[in-house]
Every structure is written in structure tokens, then in C-alpha cells.
Amino acid sequence: MKLIFVSGGVISGLGKGITASSIGRLLESRGLKVSAIKIDPYLNIDAGTMNPFEHGEVYVLDDGGEVDLDLGNYERFMDLHLTRDHNITTGKVYRSVIENERHGDYLGKTVQIIPHITNEIKRRITNVARESGADVVIVELGGTVGDMESMPFLEAARQLGRELGREENVMFIHTTLIPIMGSVGEEKTKPTQHSVKELMSIGIRPDIIVGRCSEPLSESAISKIAMFCDVPEDAVISTPDARSIYEVPLNLEKQGVADYIIDKMKLGPLTTPRDMAQWEDLVSRIVNPKKEVRIALVGKYTALADSYLSHLEAFTHAGAASECKVRIKFIDSDDLTTGDPNEILGDVHGILVPGGFGIRGVEGKIVAAGYARENGIPFLGVCLGFQIATIEFCRNVLGLEKASSTEFDPRTPDPVICIMDEQKGIVDMGATMRLGAQDVFVKEGSMAAELYGSTQISERHRHRYEVNPDYIDRIEAAGWKFTGRSECGTRMEIGELEGHPYYVASQFHPEFKSKPTRPSPLHQGLVDAAIAYMEGRN
Ligand code: GLN
């Protein structure tokens, strides 16, 4: 079993997840099988109950796990299919230990952080590593070294290093910030030195230091870090500002970090030659677009772009395929209830209404959906966006003025969106939605079938409400066609508006399975329709 721990120091938000994902990508490009684990030191069992404003989007896995968005980066960069066990939280660890205690597994003993919590952490990491069958597993430690909550995880990592064997089986990569100060542009290594000292005081000596700096590190900064942090100079790597996150693996490759790891961990000799050609092509398409479209993202968490991370990535993937830069115009949906939609949406070539919960911002999203429908603007609605498109259609085409979802208006006379039968009576909020990969049957000849190139697909879900089956016939007769359904046939999954160039919505979340070289078909459809719309108008 070979593990690479990636920790962070100085400040959070250094792109530790991107560094971990990029290193994984590079090891994969040598033919190694790589997997990844994210450790989140918070007490929540999973990310499902957290507000996207605090931690960014809740990412959903095939198995229905509601996890940290870094798992999205791992799946995108390394083309993995992860399970909820790949996200370890303090909540999960403590819950197991307390359940074991109640069960009597530790009879007679005082249950303590060391060894009981740390053993549980080690058990979870090694189980996932073993089950993944990977040659090497990257374990990203959330938070920053020195945080009280990360302590048990760092201690468990230290012990794993001791038990499995340092360097050959367990490596530590520490990512830090190297600020550039003053008019002379001097790189400051002191914060890194302090952070490494802190790590060493826990008993972990890092093998590789990754310095996040706006510029590539100078030779003198590299030798200073190497000397004070006690690592060889070729183990000091820098991650300068990149034009796209997908460029980071290429920047790391130039510095030889993968070869360094392969050598230290004795992962060779490798039989397959390194293959990064497809990735290089991807990056060159992203950074050299031939055209640009503007797509409005109408939501309520628009103050934090990470709330919609997978959508933004899906647009990057779709844009790359069409050699087009997709510029996102974030629109707070509330603005559409007070402002003039022409002024707010008049300059965009496409509109996305993403998922969401609760009543706030709903009316503005309905305005956006109506504006796209009436003006022939390419539109994609996802999850709540699908329900919004359906409500807008019922209100303004079917004339059901008060049509709504029982989520926002329990007493609406026309509950065109209602709670799913199996959700009735559920009281607990954690992990109780309809979650994860479900099959969707797509109507032959529909736009969705053409975009997916298939009539049976599997996409990820996260919802409690659905289109009310009592209204389906009336809605379809008026032109909002449900071209995708779940296996039972009564759960609506995709809607397509007749006679509109691109007005599509899905109950599922296509953004979660979008990959750099296999974009989400529905995002691709929106981007291509936006290009056509722009070119037709210009
Ligand atoms: N709130 C809606 C539901 O629960 C939509 C959920 C979502 O957009 N993820 O069905």
C-alpha cells in the first residue's frame, strides 16, 4: 500500500486539491492506477447539510455520497469513480467510534483520541486504499496544519508513515504560500519555514514542498526553502498562477515532481510510456479559444463561484471541445424580480438556471426561464432549474397563474411540482434525498438522445420534489415535452421545449459527470446553441 499525504500550511485556499489532483493525473499518465481520499476535519458526517456559501457546492457521487467539492476535482482530473468512503470526516470517524463503544467493543477501556480515534482514521484510509486496488492513493488533508481539528488526522498519518515505511510507502507533500513582497518582488519563505516547523513538531518531516506563488520560484527561493525545510532542491516545487487549473499538471510535470515520486516510492520500472498528449491538447484548446460566448448563471449563491464549481468546469470542458471561451455572467436571481430582464439578460447568448433549495430567489429564476423561452435564448435548467422551467411553462403557457412547487408554496392550487411519494414522512435531513446515479430512459429522436448519443443514460441526482404526474399530459400537449423518464416511466427527468432552438432541462445533475475530454452533453448543447445564437445575431 502506497500513500501520498498532501497537507497545507500558512493559509487555506492554496489550491491543495488541484495540486493533489494534478499529481494524481501525472502518475496516471505513466500508467499507474491512482485513487484519492479527501479528509475533512469538520464534525458534519457529510457535506450534504452544508450551505454552499460556506464550503462551495455539495458534490454528488454515483453512490449518492454528498461530498466535498475536491472529490469533483479528483474525478475530473483523474477520471475516477469515487464512493462516499473516499471522503473521511471527523463526524464519520467519531460516529463509528461511539457506536463501537456503545456496542461494547472496547469493554473495560477508556476510549480516547489516541489510539481509538486515530485507529479508526487509519482503518478508514487503509480500507479505502485496499479496496480501490490503486498502486498509489493520494490523501488530501483538509484545513491547515496547526488547526486543532486536523490534529488526530495528522497523528494518524504520522503513524501510517511509521507502520508502512516512510518514503517508499508513505510520502508527505506540504503545500504552502510564498508571498511576493515589496517593489523588488522578493519571495518570502518565512511563512513556509514556520509552517514546516509546525509540521515537524507533530513528527512529520515533509518529503516535497509545493510553494504557491504568483510567479515561478527563483533559484534562491528554492535553495532557501530546501535548506531550511530540510528537503533536496528538486523536492521544492512551485505552482505559479496558471491560465487554467488544467494547466497545473503541465507546470508540475516540467518540474519533474512525478518522476521524483516514482523514484522515491519505487513505483517503477513503468512499462507504458508517459502519455499527456490529450491533456496538452485540452489545455491548448482552453487557453487559445477561437470565439467567446456569454452565459448567464442565474442563482442565489452567486457571491461564491465555488457554489457552482461543477457547472463552471462543465462549461470549461464544453467550451474546450468547441474551442470557445465561455464567459459566465453571474446573476443574483433576486435582481430579476426588481430589475429589467432586458437590461440584465439582454447581452447573454445562453442562460443556465442551476439547482437550489428553498423559496428565496425562485421568482427571479422563473423570470429568467420565461425570458429565455420567449426570446429564443438557449436555456439549460438543472434540477431546481428543471422544476422552475416547468412552473414557468404552466403559469405562462397553460395559464395556471398560481402554479408552483409545494416546496415553496404548500397551498398552491396547482402543485405542478410536488414531493416524491417516497420522500413523504422523512424527518431527518442528512442523506435522505433521492441521491446518486439513476438510469434515465431517453426518447428516441429527441434532442437529448442526439446529445447523449444514447437512449439509456445514467446521471446523478439530488432532489426531493418532482413533476406532479397528474399534470404531465396537459403539459406535454402544450409543448413542454418530457423526453427523459426514469425506469418506472412516471418520474420526469428531461424536458425539451418544442419549437425553441435549445430549451432543455433535467431533473438530474449532468455537471457532476462532466470530464475534461467528455463534457456533459447538456452543457455542450447549451454552449453550441449559444455559439449559434451569437453568430446568427452578429
Ligand atoms: N429543491 C429541489 C428538490 O429538492 C431541487 C433540488 C436541487 O436543485 N438539487 O427537488
Q: Which three cell numbers stand for residue 365?
A: 429564476
Contacts of 115 (CB under 8 A, 6+ apart): none
Quick one: angle between helices 384-396 and 362-375, nearest 10?
70
The CA distance from 329 to 335, in Å, is 13
Q: What pLDDT, on the 0 to 100 scale, is given for residue 538?
A: 46
Establish whether residue 407 lines the binding site of ligand 1, counting it when its CB lies within 6 angstroms of any ligand atom: yes
Establish whether residue 66 lines the binding site of ligand 1, counting it when its CB lies within 6 angstroms of any ligand atom: no
CA–centroid distance, 152 to ligand 1, in Å, is 36
Establish whether residue 378 lines the binding site of ligand 1, counting it when its CB lies within 6 angstroms of any ligand atom: no
Q: What are phi and psi of 437, to 5 degrees?
A: -70, 130
Closest CA to 202 of 242, 241, 271, 156: 156
The alpha helices in 133-254, defined as continuous H runs, are 151-164, 190-201, 219-229, 248-254
Bridge partners, residue 397, by sequence: none
- Burial (CB < 10 A; 0-12, 13-18, 19+), residue 397, is middle
Strand pairing class (291-299; 350-353): parallel
Q: Do the Cβ atoms of 374 and 383 come closer than 8 Å?
A: no
Establish whether residue 419 lines the binding site of ligand 1, counting it when its CB lies within 6 angstroms of any ligand atom: no
CA–centroid distance, 484 to ligand 1, in Å, is 18
Pick the atom of ligand 1 nearest to 462's CA: 9
Q: Which of 75, 418, 511, 523 is catalytic?
A: 511
The CA distance from 506 to 292, in Å, is 25
Establish whether residue 384 lines the binding site of ligand 1, counting it when its CB lies within 6 angstroms of any ligand atom: yes
The CA distance from 199 to 205, in Å, is 7
Q: Which three cell numbers stand for residue 496?
A: 425539451
> Which residue is closest in CA terms to ligand 1's atom 1?
357
Q: Do the Cβ atoms of 112 and 62 come closer than 8 Å?
A: no
Establish whether residue 58 lines the binding site of ligand 1, counting it when its CB lies within 6 angstroms of any ligand atom: no
**DSSP string over 321-375:** HTTEEEEEEEEETTHHHHS-HHHHHTT-SEEEE----SSTTHHHHHHHHHHHHHH
| Cell 515533509 found at | 206
Strand pairing class (415-419; 465-467): antiparallel
Peptide bond into 341 cis (omega under 30): no
The CA distance from 68 to 403, in Å, is 35
Q: Is 509 a catalytic residue?
A: yes
Strand pairing class (324-332; 236-239): unpaired
Closest CA to 517 of 254, 286, 248: 286
Q: Which three cell numbers stand for residue 405?
A: 412547487
| Cell 504520522 found at | 158
- Other CB atoms closer than 10 Å to residue 518's CB: what's the count? 12
pLDDT digits (tens, 9 = 90+) for 279-337: 999 999 999 999 999 999 999 888 788 899 999 999 999 999 999 999 999 999 999 99
Element (H, E) at 297: strand 291-299
pLDDT digits (tens, 9 = 90+) for 7-24: 998 888 788 999 999 999
- CA 484 to chain CA mean position, Å: 25
The CA distance from 361 to 353, in Å, is 11
CA–centroid distance, 383 to ligand 1, in Å, is 6
Taking 50 as the pLDDT cut, the residues of the chain under it are 538
pLDDT digits (tens, 9 = 90+) for 88-109: 999 999 999 999 999 999 988 9
Pick the atom of ligand 1 nearest to 358's CA: 1
Q: What pLDDT, on the 0 to 100 scale, is given for residue 303?
A: 79
The alpha helices in 420-471, defined as continuous H runs, are 447-452
The CA distance from 298 to 301, in Å, is 9
Establish whether residue 465 lines the binding site of ligand 1, counting it when its CB lies within 6 angstroms of any ligand atom: yes
Establish whether residue 383 lines the binding site of ligand 1, counting it when its CB lies within 6 angstroms of any ligand atom: yes
Radius of gyration of the chain (CA): 25
Q: What pLDDT, on the 0 to 100 scale, is given for residue 309?
A: 95
- Other CB atoms closer than 10 Å to residue 413's CB: what's the count? 10
pTM: predicted TM-score of the whole model, two decimal places? 0.95
Q: Do the Cβ atoms of 90 and 37 come closer than 8 Å?
A: no
Q: Is 383 a catalytic residue?
A: yes
The CA distance from 515 to 307, in Å, is 18
> Which residue is closest in CA terms to ligand 1's atom 7?
355
The CA distance from 321 to 326, in Å, is 11
- For a mutational test of ligand 1's pocket, the pick from 58, 298, 384, 461, i.e. the residue with the most ligand atoms closer than 8 A to its C-beta, is 384
CA–centroid distance, 118 to ligand 1, in Å, is 37
Q: Which of 324, 383, 394, 418 is catalytic?
A: 383
Q: Do the Cβ atoms of 368 and 296 come closer than 8 Å?
A: yes
Establish whether residue 300 lines the binding site of ligand 1, counting it when its CB lies within 6 angstroms of any ligand atom: no
Q: What pLDDT, on the 0 to 100 scale, is given for residue 537?
A: 58
CA–centroid distance, 493 to ligand 1, in Å, is 13
Q: Is 292 a catalytic residue?
A: no
The CA distance from 365 to 296, in Å, is 11
Establish whether residue 463 lines the binding site of ligand 1, counting it when its CB lies within 6 angstroms of any ligand atom: yes
Sign of CA dihedral 339, 342, 344, 350: positive
Q: E strands, 178-309, where?
A: 180-181, 186-187, 208-212, 236-239, 291-299
Q: Which three cell numbers stand for residue 258?
A: 512525478
CA–centroid distance, 415 to ligand 1, in Å, is 15
CA–centroid distance, 66 to ligand 1, in Å, is 14
Sign of CA dihedral 451, 457, 460, 463: positive
Number of H helices, E strands in the chain: 19, 23
Establish whether residue 41 lines the binding site of ligand 1, counting it when its CB lies within 6 angstroms of any ligand atom: no
> Which residue is closest in CA terms to ligand 1's atom 3?
463
- Nearest 5°: the CA angle 332, 334, 340 is 95
> Which residue is closest in CA terms to ligand 1's atom 5?
384
Q: Do the Cβ atoms of 325 and 285 come closer than 8 Å?
A: no
Q: What pLDDT, on the 0 to 100 scale, is given for residue 167?
A: 85
> Which residue is closest in CA terms to ligand 1's atom 6?
463
The CA distance from 296 to 20, in Å, is 31
Pick the atom of ligand 1 nearest to 407's CA: 1
